Protein backbone atom coordinates (compact mmCIF):
# COMPACT_ATOMS: atom_id res chain seq x y z
CA UNK A 1 0.00 0.00 0.00
CA UNK A 2 1.01 3.59 -0.48
CA UNK A 3 0.01 6.23 2.05
CA UNK A 4 -0.59 9.16 -0.29
CA UNK A 5 -1.17 11.90 2.30
CA UNK A 6 0.47 12.14 5.72
CA UNK A 7 1.58 14.94 8.03
CA UNK A 8 4.17 13.00 10.03
CA UNK A 9 6.11 16.15 10.88
CA UNK A 10 3.15 17.29 12.95
CA UNK A 11 4.13 17.75 16.60
CA UNK A 12 1.73 14.97 17.55
CA UNK A 13 4.41 12.56 16.26
CA UNK A 14 7.32 14.22 18.05
CA UNK A 15 7.59 11.48 20.66
CA UNK A 16 7.29 8.43 18.42
CA UNK A 17 7.87 9.40 14.78
CA UNK A 18 10.30 6.56 14.03
CA UNK A 19 8.16 3.87 15.63
CA UNK A 20 5.11 5.22 13.79
CA UNK A 21 6.97 4.78 10.49
CA UNK A 22 8.01 1.27 11.55
CA UNK A 23 4.41 0.36 12.46
CA UNK A 24 3.26 1.53 9.04
CA UNK A 25 5.79 -0.77 7.38
CA UNK A 26 4.63 -3.71 9.47
CA UNK A 27 1.04 -2.93 8.45
CA UNK A 28 1.99 -3.20 4.76
CA UNK A 29 2.56 0.46 3.92
CA UNK A 30 5.51 0.42 1.48
CA UNK A 31 5.76 4.13 0.79
CA UNK A 32 4.53 7.36 2.37
CA UNK A 33 3.99 10.80 0.89
CA UNK A 34 4.54 13.53 3.44
CA UNK A 35 2.75 16.82 2.83
CA UNK A 36 4.48 20.09 3.65
CA UNK A 37 1.83 22.77 3.24
CA UNK A 38 3.33 25.76 5.02
CA UNK A 39 6.35 27.66 3.64
CA UNK A 40 8.07 27.43 7.05
CA UNK A 41 8.05 23.62 6.81
CA UNK A 42 9.19 23.08 3.23
CA UNK A 43 12.91 22.60 3.91
CA UNK A 44 12.20 20.36 6.88
CA UNK A 45 9.82 18.26 4.77
CA UNK A 46 12.43 17.70 2.06
CA UNK A 47 15.05 16.79 4.66
CA UNK A 48 12.61 14.31 6.23
CA UNK A 49 12.01 12.64 2.83
CA UNK A 50 15.73 12.57 2.06
CA UNK A 51 16.39 10.83 5.39
CA UNK A 52 13.88 8.01 4.66
CA UNK A 53 14.15 5.81 1.61
CA UNK A 54 10.41 5.04 1.49
CA UNK A 55 9.19 8.60 2.09
CA UNK A 56 8.61 11.20 -0.63
CA UNK A 57 6.93 14.55 -0.26
CA UNK A 58 4.74 17.18 -1.85
CA UNK A 59 5.06 20.88 -1.13
CA UNK A 60 2.56 23.69 -1.36
CA UNK A 61 0.57 26.31 0.47
CA UNK A 62 -2.61 25.18 2.20
CA UNK A 63 -5.63 27.31 1.20
CA UNK A 64 -5.98 28.34 4.84
CA UNK A 65 -2.42 29.69 4.73
CA UNK A 66 -2.56 31.60 1.45
CA UNK A 67 -2.04 34.88 3.21
CA UNK A 68 1.62 33.82 3.19
CA UNK A 69 1.84 33.58 -0.59
CA UNK A 70 3.96 36.49 -1.79
CA UNK A 71 5.57 36.21 -5.25
CA UNK A 72 9.00 35.40 -3.75
CA UNK A 73 7.44 32.58 -1.74
CA UNK A 74 5.96 31.09 -4.91
CA UNK A 75 9.37 31.31 -6.63
CA UNK A 76 10.90 29.44 -3.71
CA UNK A 77 8.15 26.84 -3.96
CA UNK A 78 8.86 26.30 -7.63
CA UNK A 79 12.59 25.88 -6.99
CA UNK A 80 12.08 23.43 -4.13
CA UNK A 81 9.57 21.41 -6.16
CA UNK A 82 12.29 20.54 -8.66
CA UNK A 83 13.93 18.37 -5.94
CA UNK A 84 13.74 14.68 -6.86
CA UNK A 85 12.14 13.78 -3.52
CA UNK A 86 9.26 16.19 -4.26
CA UNK A 87 6.75 14.12 -6.24
CA UNK A 88 3.90 16.62 -6.43
CA UNK A 89 2.65 20.15 -5.73
CA UNK A 90 0.23 20.79 -2.86
CA UNK A 91 -1.74 20.66 -0.90
CA UNK A 92 -3.32 23.64 -2.55
CA UNK A 93 -6.87 24.51 -3.47
CA UNK A 94 -9.95 26.10 -1.97
CA UNK A 95 -11.37 25.99 1.54
CA UNK A 96 -14.59 27.93 2.06
CA UNK A 97 -15.35 26.24 5.36
CA UNK A 98 -12.98 28.26 7.51
CA UNK A 99 -12.19 31.02 5.01
CA UNK A 100 -9.18 32.21 6.95
CA UNK A 101 -7.92 33.55 3.61
CA UNK A 102 -10.10 35.55 1.18
CA UNK A 103 -11.56 33.46 -1.66
CA UNK A 104 -9.97 35.56 -4.41
CA UNK A 105 -6.55 35.09 -2.85
CA UNK A 106 -7.09 31.34 -2.51
CA UNK A 107 -8.01 31.13 -6.20
CA UNK A 108 -5.01 33.17 -7.31
CA UNK A 109 -2.55 31.10 -5.29
CA UNK A 110 -4.17 27.86 -6.43
CA UNK A 111 -3.69 28.88 -10.07
CA UNK A 112 -0.01 29.63 -9.32
CA UNK A 113 0.35 26.09 -7.96
CA UNK A 114 -1.25 24.75 -11.12
CA UNK A 115 1.27 26.64 -13.24
CA UNK A 116 4.15 25.21 -11.19
CA UNK A 117 2.76 21.66 -11.43
CA UNK A 118 2.27 22.01 -15.15
CA UNK A 119 5.72 23.37 -15.84
CA UNK A 120 7.40 20.66 -13.71
CA UNK A 121 5.06 17.91 -15.00
CA UNK A 122 4.26 16.89 -11.43
CA UNK A 123 0.80 16.10 -10.07
CA UNK A 124 -1.33 18.48 -8.03
CA UNK A 125 -2.57 17.52 -4.58
CA UNK A 126 -5.79 19.46 -4.24
CA UNK A 127 -7.59 20.33 -1.02
CA UNK A 128 -11.22 21.31 -1.53
CA UNK A 129 -13.77 22.00 1.16
CA UNK A 130 -17.22 23.37 0.39
CA UNK A 131 -15.89 24.82 -2.86
CA UNK A 132 -16.47 22.14 -5.49
CA UNK A 133 -18.29 24.45 -7.95
CA UNK A 134 -15.43 26.95 -7.98
CA UNK A 135 -12.87 24.12 -8.13
CA UNK A 136 -14.55 22.72 -11.21
CA UNK A 137 -14.73 26.16 -12.86
CA UNK A 138 -11.04 26.85 -12.21
CA UNK A 139 -9.93 23.45 -13.50
CA UNK A 140 -12.06 23.83 -16.61
CA UNK A 141 -10.76 27.36 -17.19
CA UNK A 142 -7.16 26.16 -16.87
CA UNK A 143 -7.72 23.55 -19.57
CA UNK A 144 -7.37 26.26 -22.21
CA UNK A 145 -3.75 26.91 -21.21
CA UNK A 146 -1.09 24.90 -23.03
CA UNK A 147 0.30 21.84 -21.24
CA UNK A 148 -1.65 19.32 -19.24
CA UNK A 149 -2.14 19.01 -15.52
CA UNK A 150 -3.22 16.09 -13.41
CA UNK A 151 -3.54 15.13 -9.80
CA UNK A 152 -5.64 13.98 -6.89
CA UNK A 153 -8.51 15.56 -5.00
CA UNK A 154 -7.20 14.73 -1.55
CA UNK A 155 -9.70 13.72 1.14
CA UNK A 156 -12.57 13.90 -1.29
CA UNK A 157 -15.75 15.24 0.33
CA UNK A 158 -17.92 16.28 -2.61
CA UNK A 159 -21.05 14.76 -4.10
CA UNK A 160 -21.24 11.90 -6.58
CA UNK A 161 -21.88 14.53 -9.23
CA UNK A 162 -18.63 16.32 -8.29
CA UNK A 163 -16.79 12.97 -8.20
CA UNK A 164 -17.94 12.10 -11.71
CA UNK A 165 -17.01 15.51 -13.11
CA UNK A 166 -13.53 15.37 -11.59
CA UNK A 167 -12.74 11.77 -12.50
CA UNK A 168 -13.99 12.44 -16.04
CA UNK A 169 -11.30 15.15 -16.18
CA UNK A 170 -8.74 12.49 -15.17
CA UNK A 171 -8.35 13.41 -11.51
CA UNK A 172 -8.07 10.72 -8.86
CA UNK A 173 -9.95 10.88 -5.56
CA UNK A 174 -8.15 10.44 -2.24
CA UNK A 175 -10.21 8.36 0.20
CA UNK A 176 -9.61 8.77 3.93
CA UNK A 177 -10.84 7.63 7.34
CA UNK A 178 -14.29 9.27 7.04
CA UNK A 179 -15.32 6.52 4.59
CA UNK A 180 -15.44 4.25 7.67
CA UNK A 181 -17.86 6.54 9.57
CA UNK A 182 -21.41 5.17 9.70
CA UNK A 183 -22.76 8.67 8.99
CA UNK A 184 -20.71 9.13 5.78
CA UNK A 185 -23.49 8.07 3.45
CA UNK A 186 -22.50 10.46 0.70
CA UNK A 187 -18.85 9.36 0.63
CA UNK A 188 -19.82 5.68 0.73
CA UNK A 189 -22.07 6.30 -2.28
CA UNK A 190 -19.16 7.94 -4.13
CA UNK A 191 -16.76 5.08 -3.36
CA UNK A 192 -19.34 2.49 -4.42
CA UNK A 193 -20.03 4.18 -7.76
CA UNK A 194 -16.64 5.50 -8.89
CA UNK A 195 -14.32 2.95 -10.58
CA UNK A 196 -11.57 1.59 -8.34
CA UNK A 197 -8.94 2.80 -10.84
CA UNK A 198 -9.81 6.41 -9.90
CA UNK A 199 -9.17 5.99 -6.18
CA UNK A 200 -6.10 6.28 -3.97
CA UNK A 201 -5.99 5.78 -0.21
CA UNK A 202 -4.58 8.17 2.38
CA UNK A 203 -4.92 8.84 6.11
CA UNK A 204 -4.30 12.64 6.32
CA UNK A 205 -2.82 11.77 9.72
CA UNK A 206 -2.78 13.00 12.45
CA UNK A 207 -6.31 14.07 11.47
CA UNK A 208 -9.40 12.01 10.57
CA UNK A 209 -8.79 8.62 12.21
CA UNK A 210 -10.92 5.68 11.01
CA UNK A 211 -13.99 4.79 13.05
CA UNK A 212 -12.19 2.34 15.40
CA UNK A 213 -9.75 5.06 16.47
CA UNK A 214 -12.05 8.06 16.53
CA UNK A 215 -11.01 10.68 19.02
CA UNK A 216 -7.40 9.49 18.84
CA UNK A 217 -4.41 10.41 16.73
CA UNK A 218 -4.47 8.96 13.22
CA UNK A 219 -1.39 7.30 11.66
CA UNK A 220 -0.34 5.54 8.42
CA UNK A 221 -0.60 2.04 9.91
CA UNK A 222 -4.41 2.48 9.87
CA UNK A 223 -4.41 2.65 6.06
CA UNK A 224 -5.60 -0.99 5.67
CA UNK A 225 -8.84 -0.03 7.44
CA UNK A 226 -9.64 2.36 4.61
CA UNK A 227 -8.85 -0.28 1.97
CA UNK A 228 -11.02 -2.74 3.87
CA UNK A 229 -14.01 -0.38 3.86
CA UNK A 230 -13.63 0.32 0.13
CA UNK A 231 -13.52 -3.44 -0.48
CA UNK A 232 -16.64 -3.89 1.64
CA UNK A 233 -18.53 -1.18 -0.27
CA UNK A 234 -17.51 -2.52 -3.66
CA UNK A 235 -17.95 -6.13 -2.59
CA UNK A 236 -14.49 -7.14 -3.80
CA UNK A 237 -11.44 -8.57 -1.97
CA UNK A 238 -9.30 -6.12 0.03
CA UNK A 239 -6.24 -7.32 -1.94
CA UNK A 240 -7.88 -6.06 -5.13
CA UNK A 241 -8.29 -2.63 -3.55
CA UNK A 242 -4.71 -2.47 -2.24
CA UNK A 243 -3.28 -3.63 -5.58
CA UNK A 244 -5.28 -1.16 -7.67
CA UNK A 245 -4.78 1.84 -5.37
CA UNK A 246 -1.05 1.10 -5.18
CA UNK A 247 -0.77 1.09 -8.97
CA UNK A 248 -2.80 4.31 -9.18
CA UNK A 249 -0.59 6.01 -6.58
CA UNK A 250 2.64 4.83 -8.21
CA UNK A 251 1.47 6.05 -11.58
CA UNK A 252 0.26 9.41 -10.29
CA UNK A 253 3.38 10.25 -8.30
CA UNK A 254 5.84 8.37 -10.57
CA UNK A 255 7.10 6.35 -7.60
ZN1 LIG B 1 -3.37 17.34 4.46
Residue 244 alpha carbon to ligand 1 centre in Å: 22
Residue 91 alpha carbon to ligand 1 centre in Å: 7
Give the whole-angstrom CA distance, residue 149 versus residue 187. Answer: 25
Cis peptide before 206 (omega within 30 of 0): yes
Give the whole-angstrom CA distance, residue 74 versus residue 80. Answer: 10
* β-strand pairing of 86-95 with 199-201: unpaired
pLDDT computed for residue 215 by the predictor: 95
pLDDT computed for residue 200 by the predictor: 98
pLDDT computed for residue 228 by the predictor: 98
pLDDT computed for residue 84 by the predictor: 97
Give the whole-angstrom CA distance, residue 207 versus residue 157. Answer: 15
pLDDT computed for residue 145 by the predictor: 80
**What residues pair up with 52 in beta bridges, in sequence order?**
none
Residue 169 alpha carbon to ligand 1 centre in Å: 22
Residue 216 alpha carbon to ligand 1 centre in Å: 17
pLDDT computed for residue 69 by the predictor: 73
Domain ranges of the chain: 2-253
pLDDT computed for residue 138 by the predictor: 96
Residue 64 alpha carbon to ligand 1 centre in Å: 11
Can you state the angle between helices 160-168 and 132-142, rounded to 10 degrees? 10
Residue 254 per-residue DSSP state: T
pLDDT computed for residue 143 by the predictor: 82
Residue 83 alpha carbon to ligand 1 centre in Å: 20
Residue 154 alpha carbon to ligand 1 centre in Å: 8
Residue 5 alpha carbon to ligand 1 centre in Å: 6
Residue 7 alpha carbon to ligand 1 centre in Å: 7
Topology of domain 2-253 in CATH is TIM Barrel (3.20.20)
* pLDDT < 70 stretches in the chain: 68
Q: What are the pLDDT digits (tens) for 130-160?
A: 999 999 999 999 888 877 889 999 999 999 9
pLDDT computed for residue 230 by the predictor: 98
Q: What are the pLDDT digits (tens) for 227-254?
A: 999 999 999 999 999 999 999 999 999 9
The helix/strand/coil state of 220 is helix
Of 35, 21, 87, 40, the residue nearest 220 (C-alpha): 21
Residue 37 alpha carbon to ligand 1 centre in Å: 8
Of 157, 156, 152, 154, the residue nearest 169 (C-alpha): 152
The helix/strand/coil state of 34 is strand
pTM over 0.85: yes
Sign of the CA dihedral running 178, 138, 196, 187: positive
Residue 6 alpha carbon to ligand 1 centre in Å: 7
Nearby residues of 186 by Cβ (< 8 Å), 6 or more positions away: 159, 160
Q: Identify the helix (H) or strand (E) that includes residue 57.
A: strand 55-59
pLDDT computed for residue 149 by the predictor: 83
Residue 205 alpha carbon to ligand 1 centre in Å: 8
Amino acid sequence: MIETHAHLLDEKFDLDRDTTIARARTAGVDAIIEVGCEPANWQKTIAFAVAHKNISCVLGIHPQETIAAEPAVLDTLKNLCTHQKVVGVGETGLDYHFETSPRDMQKEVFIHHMDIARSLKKPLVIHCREAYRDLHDILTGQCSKPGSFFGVIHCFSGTLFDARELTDMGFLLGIDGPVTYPSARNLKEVVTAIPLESLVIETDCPYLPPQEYRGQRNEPSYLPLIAREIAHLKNIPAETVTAATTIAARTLFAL
